[in-house]
């Protein structure tokens, strides 16, 4: 165990295990390890100096942030160069040393006077450089006498030269002091004063890590060829990769069927710091094009329009034009292109600049060239895309080919790619019903992506034609579905009006429309589900019901006739969706409804399976709106199972999805996780945001999570108020009623608890699962007399123990232990309290763990507070990968599920083996043995 100084002075000491600063920036394990050794050396009393160099956006600042986060026990001072202050002598030095100025009274007077004069604290002529440099050195040494000192300087290329010279002087003379000086700049030549100091030069990320970064920034499917071209063209520059993901259309990235590349803001040197002229790339491209022969210009434009950078295809294009790239200085050193495994532009912004510089006829000609040289068998969808952009007016043959190839495009890039194909097909279709049908199909695919890009596609439907009754009804349903995604929108009446207009056109389209309407209303406007359900119940039943038909019947019966009547239908529907051969489990919308039905029916096993399938289906389809909902559901499942590290890993993806959607709101799963972990400040902040989201599940989930938080903290009055608000929602999350019962009993309001128990029992008895009956037994034990309570507590523990719901079982043990302790059976209480506390600690449910610790202390047992994670504690991602390895998945299989490369999985497994003290994946199961060792990883 380390014993190192922490806090603001030498009187405070760190006596726990070393805090973890996280894994560090993606793809920089060696660099993070080197910075860790640097800080360890300084803590040990040595000095260290490092010059970190690399182009803009390469990740220097992220590494400095990691260094600061890992410098526990040290005093950290920071400064960053500012271009506007580069000419102000000593501006950077003042920024760094200002916090240390009280130490001037403790260093030799001549040196202190030189520093004060340089900083303008004393009048006088410019100080002697040697005295000033010695003064800075003495000031750093004085600060290090109290605690090891880490000096971090970013953007040193913009620090004034006198400051850099003074700090370089100190860097060469701090050998006897526990001081680290870390300089970060773009090019070592920017400041010759740093020459000869230890250096770490950053290059681009490894291609596998760059692909992981792009996958994390862009959830959903991504065409592999487009992905590899992006990684090659950005040369692994993290800022360029992320900026491209933020600034390019989703369709363009997902399948390559959009604008050709990132704008100039994605260029590495433009990603941070001093702007180098927004028009520089445009000017360079204009000069380049003016100097090229016409066919060479055409080849360069074709390269810009070809999203994969396929050298074989572009070689065929060059041959057809009779162009040798080297002879036209396209691929020579200093030319615009690199011709290797991928054909890429040397500057990432050149691609889009070439595109913008071309006229519309020139672009059509380049697309025609690409269509002629694209393989009609293996790349039929890309050939159709280029062919469609090589013509200007309507062409039914080309439009029909695009429509036929849309499923192939979807396989490459998900719904966004399919929407792009169908939208272009509609534009090329002569006016008439066929054009409207294709436009509706395009709008439907675009809306299902959940992105803002769907708006222009949707608004174009019927813009230049008359819609018939069915087409108008389909359009209204699409618009109502979009309206349902906005917080606070009463979408149910709009949905009902739209589906009623579809009824005259047949039972099958009507049932499909009602299922879609119920899906939307269940999330956005639950108070309006009942009228939709009643209308759907009047539809004739199909002779051979599909799983989707069974689901519609189950959900509408549940809303119109109650739980008992719906239970048999619900089980049939869940069984149908649980079958591996069910085609319906590939569609995110019906899967979402089936997952919600499983949760409402207390069917933990079906919910676990369906939540996972829902996430997979939404990822595969590129339906980001559905993926956001699926991840929230999966996070709740993981939390209730006690798999909080897996929930944390899913939350990372959910946050990335929210960023891609531009919603500006945190995922609801973040609230649920914070509540169970007892992070009060975060849970309250997230709860306010979630409750503000309309008349759907948001308020019910928010208030239920707040009740969980308050019960964990032992704040029962607050828990009661929040649980009552949750119960008043239309409808409540019924498994949150248990929070109300627990809080009411703790406040001696047993009559209220008994009334709520009766309401809870309506759903649990209809369900009959172990989760339902175990939860009911736990709640009934709380309101029962002492004579009847014990067998109910034991029944709850037995039933919940047969589920995978680790935290629900731990809650039952905690309540049983508390009941035993209050009955003066202290010795009997210790076993369930110990088991509960161990489970809470193992999963990170800190508030409930502390509640169990207090109860154990009241029994006379000493239970130490846990102050930090154990040294071998796995990160959330490592816990997730370890669980999959334990379940027998190979590295490629794990990588496919988590959008990681096999190499990255192997790196994580190496860390896992080290932390767990094992040497192979065969030992993972033993090493992970614990309360939830049998739980499924996310």
At residue 613, φ and ψ (nearest 5 deg) are -65, -35
Q: What is the residue-averaged pLDDT of the chain? A: 82
Q: What is the pLDDT of residues 508-545, one digit of tens each?
A: 989 999 998 888 888 776 677 889 999 999 999 888 88
Secondary-structure breakdown of the chain: helix, strand, coil percentages, each rounded to the nearest 5 = 65, 5, 30
Residue with tokens 């002569």: 430
Q: What is the pLDDT of residue 868?
A: 40
The 10 Å CB-count burial string (b at 16+, else e) for 902-925 is eebbebbbebbbebbeeeebeebb
3-state secondary structure of 95: helix
Q: What is the pLDDT of residue 899?
A: 54
Residue 936 to residues 279, 400, 642, 787: CA-CA distances in angstroms? 53, 45, 10, 38
Residue 487 and residue 448 in contact, taking contact as beta carbons nearer than 8 Å: no
Which residue stretches of 806-860 are H helix? Answer: 806-822, 826-843, 846-858
Q: What is the pLDDT of residue 878?
A: 76
Residue 77 and residue 149 in contact, taking contact as beta carbons nearer than 8 Å: yes
pLDDT over 50 at 262, yes or no: no
Q: What is the pLDDT of residue 374?
A: 93
Tokens of 356: 């913008």
Quote the CA–CA distance of 858 and 819 in Å, as a whole number: 12
Residues 6+ apart with CB under 8 A from 155: 80, 81, 82, 184, 185, 273
Rounded to 5°, the CA angle 641-645-646 comes to 65
Quote the CA–CA distance of 934 and 454 in Å, as a whole number: 42
pLDDT over 90 at 174, yes or no: no
Query: What is the DSSP code string of 418-478?
Result: HHHHHHHHHHHSPSSHHHHHHHHHHHHHHHHHTSTTHHHHHHTTTTTS---HHHHHHHHHH
Instruction: For residue 217, give the nearest of 241, 240, 248 by alpha carbon.
Output: 241
> How many Cα neighbours within 13 Å face the side chain of 863?
22
pLDDT over 90 at 257, yes or no: no
Greater model confidence, 468 or 609: 609
Residue 531 and residue 494 in contact, taking contact as beta carbons nearer than 8 Å: no
Quote the CA–CA distance of 152 and 3 in Å, as a whole number: 24
Quote the CA–CA distance of 484 and 792 in Å, as a whole number: 43
Three-state SS for 13-75 is EECCCCCCCCCCCCCCHHHHHHHHHHHHHHHCCCCEEEEEECCCCCCHHHHHHHHHHHCCCCE
Residue with tokens 């002779």: 543
CB atoms within 10 A of CB 561: 13
Residue with tokens 């539809």: 539
Quote the CA–CA distance of 881 and 894 in Å, as a whole number: 7
Which residue stretches of 714-805 are H helix? Answer: 716-728, 737-746, 750-767, 770-783, 786-801
3-state secondary structure of 179: strand
Greater model confidence, 868 or 913: 913
Q: What is the pLDDT of residues 660-702, one digit of tens each?
A: 776 656 677 888 888 998 888 888 888 887 776 655 677 788 8
pTM above 0.75, yes or no: no
Position 730 confidence tier, pLDDT thresholds 50, 70, 90? low
Tokens of 698: 């948001």
Quote the CA–CA distance of 239 and 850 in Å, as a whole number: 42
Point out the least confidently predicted range of 144-158, 406-420, 600-614. 406-420
pLDDT over 50 at 14, yes or no: no
Alpha carbon of residue 197 to chain centroid: 39
Residues 6+ apart with CB under 8 A from 474: 440, 444, 502
Residue 69 and residue 16 in contact, taking contact as beta carbons nearer than 8 Å: no
Residue 442 and residue 422 in contact, taking contact as beta carbons nearer than 8 Å: yes
- In angstroms, how far is the first alpha carbon of the chain from the final one? 33
Residue 57 and residue 210 in contact, taking contact as beta carbons nearer than 8 Å: no
Q: Is 623 left (phi over 0), alpha (psi -120 to 50) or beta?
A: beta
Three-state SS for 740-753 is HHHHHHHCCCHHHH
Instruction: For residue 624, give the nearest of 663, 586, 593, 595 by alpha carbon.
Output: 663
Quote the CA–CA distance of 630 and 590 in Å, as a whole number: 12
CA dihedral 648, 649, 652, 658 (to 10 degrees): -80
Query: What is the DSSP code string of 210-251?
Result: HHHHHHHHS-S---HHHHHHHHHHHTT-HHHHHHHHHHS-HH
Q: What is the mean pLDDT of residues 187-197?
A: 85
Alpha carbon of residue 477 to chain centroid: 30
Q: What is the mean pLDDT of residues 752-766?
A: 92
Residue 250 and residue 414 in contact, taking contact as beta carbons nearer than 8 Å: no
pLDDT over 90 at 836, yes or no: yes
Q: What is the pLDDT of residues 41-75, one digit of tens each?
A: 998 889 999 999 988 888 898 899 999 988 888 99
Q: In what order do the strands lie in the sheet with 48-53?
A: 75-80, 149-154, 179-185, 48-53, 199-201
Strand partners, 150: 76, 180
Rg of the Cα trace of the chain?
Answer: 32
Tokens of 486: 């906005």
Point out the least confidently predicted range of 51-60, 233-242, 418-427. 233-242
pLDDT over 60 at 763, yes or no: yes
3-state secondary structure of 76: strand
The 10 Å CB-count burial string (b at 16+, else e) for 499-515 is bbbbbeeeeebbbbbbb
Residue 753 and residue 781 in contact, taking contact as beta carbons nearer than 8 Å: no
pLDDT over 80 at 707, yes or no: yes
DSSP assignment letter at 494: H
Q: What is the pLDDT of residue 414?
A: 82
Residue 639 and residue 671 in contact, taking contact as beta carbons nearer than 8 Å: no
Q: Is 203 left (phi over 0), alpha (psi -120 to 50) or beta?
A: beta
pLDDT over 60 at 313, yes or no: yes
CB atoms within 10 A of CB 113: 19
Q: What is the pLDDT of residue 399?
A: 93
Most confident of 267-281, 364-378, 659-673, 922-936: 364-378
pLDDT over 50 at 930, yes or no: no
């Amino acid at each position: 165990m380390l014993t190192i100084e922490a806090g603001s002075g030498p009187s405070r000491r760190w006596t726990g295990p070393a805090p973890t600063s996280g894994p560090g920036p993606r793809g920089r394990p060696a660099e993070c390890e080197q910075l860790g050794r640097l800080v360890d050396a300084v803590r040990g009393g040595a000095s260290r100096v490092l010059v970190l160099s690399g182009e803009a956006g390469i990740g220097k600042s992220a590494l400095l942030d990691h260094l600061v986060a890992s410098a526990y026990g040290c005093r950290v001072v920071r400064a960053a160069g500012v271009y506007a202050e580069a000419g102000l002598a000593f501006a950077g030095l003042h920024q760094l040393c200002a916090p240390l100025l009280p130490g001037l009274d403790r260093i030799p007077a001549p040196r202190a006077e030189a520093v004060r004069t340089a900083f303008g604290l004393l009048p006088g002529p410019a100080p002697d450089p040697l005295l000033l440099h010695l003064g800075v050195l003495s000031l750093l040494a004085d600060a290090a006498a109290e605690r090891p000192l880490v000096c971090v300087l970013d953007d040193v290329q913009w620090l004034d030269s006198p400051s850099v010279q003074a700090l370089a002087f100190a860097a060469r003379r701090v050998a006897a002091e526990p001081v680290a000086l870390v300089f970060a700049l773009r090019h070592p030549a920017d400041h010759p004063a740093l020459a000869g100091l230890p250096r770490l030069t950053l290059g681009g990320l490894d291609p596998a890590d760059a692909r992981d970064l792009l996958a994390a920034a862009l959830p959903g499917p991504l065409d592999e060829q487009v992905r590899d071209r992006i990684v090659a063209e950005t040369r692994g520059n993290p800022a360029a990769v992320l900026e491209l993901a933020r600034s390019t259309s989703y369709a363009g990235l997902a399948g390559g069927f959009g604008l050709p590349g990132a704008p100039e803001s994605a260029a590495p040197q433009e990603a941070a710091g001093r702007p180098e002229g927004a028009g520089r790339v445009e000017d360079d491209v204009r000069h380049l094009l003016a100097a090229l022969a016409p066919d060479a210009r055409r080849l360069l434009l074709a390269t810009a329009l070809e999203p994969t950078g396929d050298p074989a295809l572009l070689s065929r294009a060059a041959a057809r034009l009779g162009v040798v790239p080297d002879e036209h200085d396209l691929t020579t050193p200093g030319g615009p292109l690199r011709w290797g495994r991928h054909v890429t532009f040397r500057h990432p912004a050149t691609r889009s600049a070439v595109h913008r510089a071309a006229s519309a006829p020139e672009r059509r000609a380049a697309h025609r060239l690409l269509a002629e040289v694209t393989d009609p068998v293996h790349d039929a969808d890309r050939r159709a895309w280029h062919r469609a952009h090589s013509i200007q007016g309507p062409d039914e043959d080309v439009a029909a080919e695009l429509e036929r190839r849309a499923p192939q495009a979807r396989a490459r890039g998900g719904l966004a790619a399919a929407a792009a194909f169908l939208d272009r097909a509609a534009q090329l279709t002569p006016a008439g019903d066929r054009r409207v049908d294709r436009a509706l199909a395009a709008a439907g695919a675009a809306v299902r992506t959940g992105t803002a890009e769907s708006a222009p596609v949707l608004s174009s439907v019927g813009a230049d034609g008359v819609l018939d009754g069915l087409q108008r009804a389909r359009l209204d349903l699409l618009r109502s579905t979009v309206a349902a995604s906005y917080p606070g929108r009463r979408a149910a009446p709009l949905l009902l009006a739209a589906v009623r207009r579809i009824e005259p056109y047949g039972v099958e389209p009507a049932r499909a429309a009602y299922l879609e309407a119920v899906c939307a209303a269940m999330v956005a406007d639950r108070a309006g589900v009942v009228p939709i359900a009643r209308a759907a119940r009047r539809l004739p039943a199909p002779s051979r019901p599909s799983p989707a038909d069974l689901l519609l019947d189950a959900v509408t019966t549940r809303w119109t006739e109650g739980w008992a009547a719906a239970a048999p239908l619900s089980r049939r529907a869940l069984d149908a969706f649980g079958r591996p051969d069910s085609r319906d489990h590939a569609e995110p919308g019906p899967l979402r409804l089936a997952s919600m039905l499983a949760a409402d029916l207390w069917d933990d096993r079906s919910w676990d399976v369906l939540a996972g399938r829902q996430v997979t289906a939404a990822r595969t389809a590129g339906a980001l709106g559905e993926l956001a909902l699926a991840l929230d559901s999966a996070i709740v499942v993981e939390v209730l199972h006690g798999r909080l590290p897996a929930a944390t890993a899913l939350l990372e993806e959910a946050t990335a999805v929210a960023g891609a959607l531009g919603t500006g709101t945190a995922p609801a799963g973040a609230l649920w996780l914070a509540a169970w972990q007892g992070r009060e400040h975060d849970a309250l902040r997230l709860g306010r945001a979630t409750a503000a989201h309309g008349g759907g599940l948001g308020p019910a989930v928010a208030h239920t999570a707040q009740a969980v938080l308050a019960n964990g903290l032992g704040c029962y009055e607050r828990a009661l108020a929040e649980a009552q608000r949750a119960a008043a929602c239309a409808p409540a999350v019924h498994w949150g009623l248990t929070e109300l019962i627990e809080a009411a009993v703790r406040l001696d309001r047993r009559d209220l608890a008994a009334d709520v128990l009766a309401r809870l029992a309506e759903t649990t008895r209809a369900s009959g699962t172990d989760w339902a009956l175990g939860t009911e037994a736990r709640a009934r034990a709380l309101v029962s007399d002492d004579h009847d309570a014990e067998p109910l507590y034991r029944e709850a523990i037995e039933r919940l123990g047969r589920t995978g719901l680790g935290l629900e079982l731990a809650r039952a043990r905690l309540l049983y232990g508390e009941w035993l302790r209050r009955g003066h059976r202290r010795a009997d209480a210790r076993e369930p309290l110990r088991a509960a506390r161990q489970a809470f600690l193992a999963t990170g449910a800190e508030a409930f763990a502390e509640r169990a610790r207090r109860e154990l202390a009241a029994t006379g047992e000493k239970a130490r507070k846990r102050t930090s994670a154990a040294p071998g504690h796995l990160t959330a991602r490592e816990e997730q990968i370890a669980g999959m390895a334990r379940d027998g998945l190979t590295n490629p299989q794990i990588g496919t599920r988590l959008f990681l490369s096999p190499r990255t999985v192997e790196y994580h497994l190496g860390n896992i083996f080290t932390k767990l003290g094992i040497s192979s994946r065969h030992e993972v199961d033993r090493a992970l043995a614990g309360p939830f060792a049998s739980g499924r990883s996310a």
